[in-house]
Amino acid sequence: MNNFLSSLNRLKNIRLIIRDVGHGNFNEIQMGNATRIIYDIGADKYYKDSQLRSLTQGLNFTNNEEVLIVISHWDVDHYHGLLGFSDNQLKKIKGIIAPEKIPATNTSQKIISLINNHKIPLTLLSFGSKLGKCRGAELTKYWENNNIEIYRSTYTRSRNLDSIVVIFKVNNKAILLCGDHNYNKLYNCVVTNIPQHDYIFVLPHHGGDGGKLDVNDWGQLSLVEVIISFNESNFYGHPQQAILSNIQNLLGQHLYKETNGNGDVIINI
Amino acid sequence: MLFYCEAINHKGLVVLDVHKLSDLKQWWFNREFEVSWNNEDTRSLIEINNFNWIKYRGPREGDWYDIPNGFWNECSFDFEKFSYDKEDRSVLFRLSVEFNGNEKVDFLSFKTEPLWWQHE
Pairing of strands B2-8, A257-258: unpaired
How far A258 CA lies from chain B's nearest CA (Å)?
22
- DSSP letter string, A181-234: --HHHHHHHTGGGSTTSEEEEE-GGGGS--S---HHHHTTSEEEEEEE---TT-
Question: A107 contacts in B (CB within 8 Å)?
Answer: 6, 17, 44-45, 92
Q: What is the mean pLDDT of residues A73-89?
A: 96
Q: Cα-Cα-Cα-Cα dihedral of A233, A236, A241, A246, to 10°?
A: -120
Q: Lowest mean pLDDT: which of A8-17, A130-139, B35-44, B85-94?
A: A8-17
Is-contact A233 A204, C-beta < 8 A?
no
Q: What is the pLDDT of residue A134?
A: 82
State pLDDT tens for residues A101-160: 999 999 999 999 999 999 999 999 999 999 888 889 999 999 998 889 999 999 999 999
- As a whole number, the mean pLDDT across chain A is 93
Does the beta carbon of B96 lie under 8 angstroms from any beta carbon of chain A?
Answer: no
Is-contact B84 B40, C-beta < 8 A?
yes
The CA-CA-CA angle for residues A108, A111, A116, to 5°, reads 125
Which residues sit opposite A199 in a β-bridge?
A174, A223
- As a whole number, the mean pLDDT across chain B is 96
Cα–Cα distance, B13 to B8 (Å, whole number):
6
ipTM over 0.95? The verdict is yes
Work out the pLDDT band at A196, boundaries 50, 70, 90. confident
Q: What is the pLDDT of residue B119?
A: 73
State pLDDT tens for residues A147-163: 899 999 999 999 999 99
Residue % of chain A over a pLDDT of 70: 98
pTM listed for this prediction = 0.96
pLDDT of residue B120 exceeding 70, the answer is no
Cα–Cα distance, A26 to A77 (Å, whole number):
9
Does the beta carbon of A156 lie under 8 angstroms from any beta carbon of chain B?
Answer: no
